[in-house]
Structure formats: C-alpha cells, structure tokens
Amino acid sequence: MACLANYRSWGTSTFRESSMRKLVVAAVLFSWAGVSQAKPKKDTGMTFEPETLEKTDEKPVKKTKRSVSTGPAMDAAAASKTMEKALKLYDTEDYTNATIQLNKVIEGESRDDSESRQRAEFFMAKTIFNMKYYSASLSYFDRIVQKGNSHRYYNKTLQWLAGLSRFLPDSAGVLEKIGKYTRADLDTPALEPVRDELYYLLGRYHYTKGNFQEAIGLFSSVAEKSEFYPKSKFLEGITYVRENKGQPASEAFKAILRKSKGFCLKPGDDPKKICDP
C-alpha cells in the first residue's frame, strides 16, 4: 500500500481533478480486495502444485551394476543409494528424515556426483518448504538462484519462489530472487500455471528498481482471468502516473472497475461504462 501512501506526492496537473482521485481510490479498493484473497489461508496449502509440474521432465536416477570399490571414492551405484532413500522419504512425506539423507548428499558424505548434489539441494529446499520453514527454504532456493543456469534446477525454482512470496513478507527478499530471472525465463511452458503470478511479481521488482517500461510490460501481460489482474492493472496505472502519462494510467484504473462485475451499473447499461465514483 506504499504506492497509495505516496499518491499525493505524485500529483501532477493531470491528476488533480476530483474525478481522477475518486477513480484511483475506487481502483485501490477493488484491486487490493484481491490481495487478501490471494494470500493462502492457514493450513490450506498451496494454490498450485509444483510437484506435478516438475515430474514431467525429471531425469530418473541411472542405475548401474555395483562393483567393489577399490579406493576412497564410492562407486556411482552405492552413492545413489543415499539419494534414492532421501527421495523415498520425501515421497512418503517423512520430511524430517528426508532432510537428514539429503544433507548427506549435499555435504558430499555420500560421494554423489555434482548432478545428484544439485538435485539434493532442490529437494532439500522443497522439503523444508513442506515443513513450513519458509525462511529456511528460501535460503536453500537462494543457493540455486545464485548459481544461475549452471544449476539444473534454476528454472524450476521460480515456481517455488512464487509460492514463498505468499508466505513471506517483502523484507525477506523473495522479489530480489525473482528479479534474477528474465521475461524469457517466465515464458517456459512448465511455468504456465503460475506465469501470471510471476509476471506480477517480476513487474513489482522492476517497479521498485525504477525500470518502469519493463514493469509496465509485465503488468500488462497478466491475463484478465487471473486473480493477479486487478493488482497488476493498479500498479500499471501507478507506474504510468510516475511517468506523468495520464491517459494510459486512467485506462489501467478503469480496467479494474470494468473487472468488478456490476460496479455502479444499472440494467441495460453498456458493460464498458465506467461510472464516476
């Protein structure tokens, strides 16, 4: 709501008219009414299922015949046993014991290769998320984000960052993690279920950094059917205000009011009509 708090300081001659102020206030009411609805209720779980998204292209663990180890390095088959055990524990939702096995892989105790260790990092972050230790989960996902495309789970982490944004405050830095990604990263097919949310979040990141054109492009990409559409349109309008562009700002705010069904409309009215709030 900081955007609303700063509204008066942004007032230019274009936005001093009483009707425009009323329009902005009405847009705020309708757009931020959706914020509380988007936040997950206690113990109701996620509104999307990241697990189903990643199973479609998850690489299976290759199984090889076990041979007798002749030195300090453990053979591949023996090393994968720890990871396999961790994954089975994860699948049965025995998250506490899963973290113990995953940590062995991450710390190199199991002598798994780098690919398995990256997989363990990703599953550790997911496991801790499912245990509802969201700040700790973010720290593990951040390890992946910092490695960029060199980490095989870099793109898959995006959907979990979207989930964390619903549980953690802005001060936790989720937006900064999402800000590491590009628009092209968001457009991958696997992210379709959470793409509108990611457009909104990445748009917010660019807005806070003063990258207004990037922010507007992302806000305007949110589908009208999305729950994030009103909030995106509101911030799109505010961004135009910051750029002293009254007409597109007005259109963005009016789009919010059009989205609110039946707002000050009477039977027989044009559905595109916007009443003076």
Closest C-alpha among 95, 92, 152 to residue 122: 152
The residue among 65 and 109 whose pLDDT is bigger is 109
Model confidence band, residue 115 (pLDDT cutoffs 50, 70, 90) = very high
| Residue 80 is assigned to a structural domain of this protein | yes
| Residue 190 is assigned to a structural domain of this protein | no
**How much is the mean pLDDT over the chain?**
78
| Residue 274 is assigned to a structural domain of this protein | no
Radius of gyration of the chain (CA): 23
| Residue 197 is assigned to a structural domain of this protein | no
The residue among 228 and 70 whose pLDDT is bigger is 228
- 3-state SS, the chain, equals CHHHHCCHHHCCHHHCCHHHHHHHHHHHHHHHHHHHHHCCCCCCCCCCCHHHHHCCCCCCCCCCCCCCCCCCCCCHHHHHHHHHHHHHHHHCCCHHHHHHHHHHHHCCCCCCCHHHHHHHHHHHHHHHHHCCCHHHHHHHHHHHHHHHHHCCCCCCHHHHHHHHCCCCCHHHCHHHHHCCCCHHHHCCHHHHHHHHHHHHHHHHHHHHCCCHHHHHHHHCCCCCCCCCHHHHHHHHHHHHHHCCCHHHHHHHHHHHHHHCCCCCCCCCCCCCCCCCC
Number of domains in the chain: 1
| Residue 121 is assigned to a structural domain of this protein | yes
Residue 87 confidence (pLDDT):
95
267's tokens: 């039977």
| Residue 8 is assigned to a structural domain of this protein | no
Residue 16 confidence (pLDDT):
47
Range of the domain at 106: 50-60+74-165
pLDDT beyond 70 at 116: yes
Residue 221 confidence (pLDDT):
97
| Residue 114 is assigned to a structural domain of this protein | yes
238's tokens: 């505010």
Give the domain CATH number at 117. Answer: 1.25.40
| Average pLDDT of the residues in 107-117 | 92
Residue 258 confidence (pLDDT):
85
Q: Give the range among 187-191, 201-205, 206-210, 234-238 with minimum mean pLDDT.
A: 187-191
pLDDT in tens, 12-31: 444 445 555 555 545 555 55
Residue 5 confidence (pLDDT):
44
Residue 23 confidence (pLDDT):
57
Task: Report the alpha-carbon distance of residue 240 to residue 249 in Å, rounded.
Answer: 5
| Residue 37 is assigned to a structural domain of this protein | no
Residue 259 confidence (pLDDT):
78
Model confidence band, residue 77 (pLDDT cutoffs 50, 70, 90) = low
